[in-house]
């Protein structure tokens, strides 16, 4: 599974495509006027926005959305911690003999370093989920702030555990043209998902589990959260673990 770890190699590969597309738009506008030029411009802008907003879009750099395996293994990923619920989630994972990767927020890790070390001690993965989790504006961060978010979390997690994370998940799954350069420099690979239940906002446990189950397959990357405002994250993770067992899936790490 190590082949799945693909940090960006060419963080500005999108730039020639952007320049070429806009040159083509300008030519179309000059040749046939706005009835052709305007739709062409809107289409190219739509593609650029798709690269920002679609969680598994690889326009601005590679993103892993599924593990290339045939075994009935899935990768459980738990975002937004550490939190008051981390200890209970660790006990659940132990009870089900399951492994997960915790995508942690740097400032929250700094406030709860013992929980971070406990995650690692119990054999789970620790990954980078930004320094401050700027949910409303991550998609719009400029190059300096984007680098600070990625490198800040990397610094905190490395100081706490002694090891640098290898995986990164963008906040809300959004990316932009400035995400790949700091990922390349930190040797971080971006991770999306292939199965989600909207557990951060949905209160109904059964609906969350049903949505995830619809997308389960060998190598699925399952998106879960801890510390959701509705307070039911532990219950939801317990239900997902139970359903995975019933369906014959094993929650394992990609390393």
pLDDT tier at 86, thresholds 50, 70, 90: very high
Q: Among 14-28, 67-81, 191-205, where is mean pLDDT lowest?
A: 14-28
Q: Identify the weakest region by mean pLDDT among 30-44, 82-96, 115-129, 153-167.
A: 30-44
pLDDT score of 21 more than 90:
no
Res. 103 pLDDT band, cuts 50 70 90: very high
Residue written as tokens 């040159």? 23
Asked if CATH classification 3.90.45.10 holds for the domain at 63-251, the reply, yes or no, is no
- Does residue 174 contact residue 52 with C-beta atoms inside 8 Å? yes
Report the range of poorest mean pLDDT among 36-45, 85-94, 131-140.
36-45
DSSP string, the chain: -GGG----S-TTTHHHHHHHHHHHHHHHHHHH-HHHHHHHHHHHHHHHHHHHH-TT--TTS-EE-B----SSEEEEEEEEE--TTHHHHHHHHHHTT--EEEEE-HHHHHH-HHHHHHHHHTT-EEEE--SS--TTTGGG--HHHHHHHHHHHHHHHHHHHSS---EE--GGG---TTSHHHHHHHT-EEE--SEE--TTT---HHHHHHHHHHT--TTBEEEEESS-TTS-HHHHHHHHHHHHHHHT-EE----
CB 226 within 8 A of CB 235: no
189: Cα within 13 Å, side-chain hemisphere: 15
**Which of the following is catalytic: 96, 124, 174, 225?**
225
- pLDDT at residue number 125: 98
The encoded tokens of residue 108 equal 């929250």
Query: Percentage of residues in the chain with pLDDT exceeding 90?
Result: 82
Q: What is the pTM of this model?
A: 0.93
Q: Is the pLDDT of residue 24 over 50?
A: yes
Catalytic residue among 79, 80, 129, 199: 79
Average pLDDT of the chain is 95
79 among known catalytic residues: yes
Tens digit of pLDDT for each residue in 229-251?
999 999 999 999 999 999 999 99
Task: Tell me the mean pLDDT in the region 179-197.
Answer: 97
**What does the pLDDT read at residue 2?**
56
Q: What is the DSSP string of 159-225?
A: HHHSS---EE--GGG---TTSHHHHHHHT-EEE--SEE--TTT---HHHHHHHHHHT--TTBEEEEE
Which residue carries 């495509």 as its tokens? 17
């Amino acid at each position: 599974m190590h082949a799945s770890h693909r940090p960006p190699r060419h963080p500005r590969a999108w730039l020639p495509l952007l320049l070429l597309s806009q040159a083509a738009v300008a030519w179309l506008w000059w040749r046939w006027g706005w009835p052709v030029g305007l739709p062409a411009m809107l289409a190219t802008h739509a593609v650029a926005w798709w690269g920002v907003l679609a969680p598994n879009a690889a326009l601005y750099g590679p993103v892993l959305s599924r593990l290339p395996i045939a075994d009935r293994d899935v990768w459980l990923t738990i975002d937004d911690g550490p939190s008051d619920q981390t200890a209970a989630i660790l006990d659940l994972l132990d009870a089900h003999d399951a492994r997960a990767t915790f995508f942690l927020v740097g400032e929250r890790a700094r406030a709860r370093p013992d929980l971070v070390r406990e995650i690692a001690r119990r054999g789970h993965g620790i990954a980078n989920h930004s320094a401050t989790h700027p949910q409303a504006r991550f998609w719009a961060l400029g190059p300096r702030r984007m680098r600070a978010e990625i490198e800040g979390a990397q610094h905190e997690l490395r100081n706490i555990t002694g090891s640098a994370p290898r995986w990164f998940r963008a906040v809300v799954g959004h990316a932009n043209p400035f995400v790949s350069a700091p990922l390349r420099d930190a040797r971080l690979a971006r991770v999306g998902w292939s199965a989600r239940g909207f557990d951060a906002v949905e209160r109904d446990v059964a609906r969350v589990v049903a949505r995830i189950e619809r997308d389960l397959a060998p190598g699925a990357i399952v998106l879960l959260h801890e510390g959701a405002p509705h307070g039911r994250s532990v219950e939801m993770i317990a239900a997902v673990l139970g359903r995975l067992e019933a369906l014959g899936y094993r929650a394992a790490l990609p390393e």
